[in-house]
């Protein structure tokens, strides 16, 4: 009888909880596991998390079921994917009450606050120094040399936000010879993965000595392996920064709870977990772990023009690659 009572009580408590449905990319899970519980306890709410591949795949899923998919908040739409999201009018504007916690206003890539930045990091190439040794790379053109033949893992810009950010980076450096650069770079590519996670698994398995990733990866290596298993490469020092944002879906039926969650993402309780789970920089002034001293910073940050035609860029890339 006591057991039946307990089971009924648990059922009542579970049913009584509100829920918040969040869609994101799969590599956000370590951060979610660390941070989300605090919000659930504070708001007496249950988060229903859907992690689907990379951010590009997540966005495509939401667009394909626009207006029908049960979703309240989307996490991981970056400053490039945002263009497509805004064209589809997926997100409502919301200025968080604690928006002043964002320390650098240049990280705010949407003046209408449809997507709120929560982390950022420079795109980079990482490589295995034991395999490649000391390499001299001063530009992306150097990576088209024969010695790099089939040695680099990249992500598909059609499905991966990291892959798309890398594509934009190469465009900013090769605006006048974008197609010819990719035609030459093609021979250096070992494989093109759907997302960053797939690429990193292959890199860790030593399928290739180099991959497209982030400038914090040396810090990651030292933290996890107590040695610099990876070195970071930003050819010529001219880098591109990916800024990731989160937003509230227009057709959400739980907008008030969604607003509270967006504000939670800017709180110290959430931001403090970003460095050692996402290996990105938080947007607030929370203290960084010492290992972030090993994060490589670009000498100069390149910015994509607001009117950059991403669809055309991908079409040009497809012609060069396929």
Range of the domain at 227: 121-241+296-321
Average pLDDT, the chain: 93
Clarify whether residues 20 and 82 are in a common domain.
Answer: yes
pLDDT in tens, 69-118: 999 999 999 999 999 999 999 999 999 999 999 999 999 999 999 999 99
In a domain, 7, yes or no: no
Burial class (CB in 10 A: 0-12, 13-18, 19+), 240: buried
Half-sphere exposure of 301 (CA within 13 A, CB side): 13
Instruction: Express as a percent the part of the chain with pLDDT over 70.
Output: 95
Clarify whether residues 235 and 263 are in a common domain.
Answer: no
pLDDT over 60 at 52, yes or no: yes
Could you give the number of structural domains in the chain?
2
Clarify whether residues 138 and 232 are in a common domain.
Answer: yes
Closest CA to 206 of 233, 222, 227, 230: 230
pLDDT over 80 at 13, yes or no: no
Clarify whether residues 250 and 107 are in a common domain.
Answer: yes
pLDDT in tens, 110-120: 999 999 999 99
Q: How many other C-beta atoms are found inside a 10 Å radius of the C-beta of residue 232?
A: 22
Residue ranges of E strands in 172-275: 189-193, 210-214, 231-233, 238-249
Structure tokens at 1: 């009888």
In a domain, 2, yes or no: no
Instruction: Express as a percent the part of the chain with pLDDT over 90.
Output: 91
Clarify whether residues 196 and 237 are in a common domain.
Answer: yes
Closest CA to 223 of 276, 280, 167, 154: 276
Clarify whether residues 25 and 64 are in a common domain.
Answer: yes
Clarify whether residues 193 and 87 are in a common domain.
Answer: no
In a domain, 234, yes or no: yes
Clarify whether residues 247 and 236 are in a common domain.
Answer: no
């Amino acid at each position: 009888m006591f057991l039946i009572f307990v089971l009924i009580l648990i059922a009542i408590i579970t049913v009584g909880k509100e829920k918040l449905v969040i869609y994101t990319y799969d590599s956000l899970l370590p951060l979610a596991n660390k941070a989300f519980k605090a919000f659930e306890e504070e708001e007496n709410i249950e988060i229903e998390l859907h992690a689907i591949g990379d951010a590009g795949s997540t966005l495509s899923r939401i667009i394909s079921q626009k207006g029908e998919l049960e979703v309240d908040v989307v996490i991981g739409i970056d400053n490039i994917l945002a263009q497509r999201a805004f064209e589809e009018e997926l997100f409502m504007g919301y200025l968080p009450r604690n928006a002043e916690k964002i320390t650098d206003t240049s990280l705010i890539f949407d003046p209408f606050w449809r997507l709120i930045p929560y982390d950022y990091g420079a795109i980079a190439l990482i490589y295995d120094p034991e395999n490649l040794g000391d390499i001299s790379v001063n530009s992306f053109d150097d990576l088209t040399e024969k010695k790099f033949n089939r040695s680099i893992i990249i992500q598909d810009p059609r499905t991966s936000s990291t892959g798309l950010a890398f594509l934009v980076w190469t465009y900013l450096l090769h605006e006048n010879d974008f197609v010819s650069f990719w035609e030459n770079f093609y021979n250096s590519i070992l494989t093109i993965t759907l997302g960053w996670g797939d690429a990193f698994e292959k890199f860790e398995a030593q399928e290739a000595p180099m991959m497209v990733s982030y400038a914090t990866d040396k810090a990651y290596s030292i933290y996890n392996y107590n040695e610099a298993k990876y070195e970071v490469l930003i050819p010529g020092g001219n880098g591109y920064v990916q800024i990731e944002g989160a937003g509230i879906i227009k057709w959400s039926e739980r907008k008030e709870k969604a607003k509270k969650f967006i504000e939670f993402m800017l709180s110290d309780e959430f931001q403090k977990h970003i460095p050692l789970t996402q290996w990105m920089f938080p947007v607030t002034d929370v203290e960084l772990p010492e290992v972030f001293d090993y994060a490589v910073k670009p000498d100069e940050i390149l910015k994509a023009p607001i009117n950059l035609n991403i669809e055309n860029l991908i079409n040009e890339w497809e012609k060069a690659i396929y």
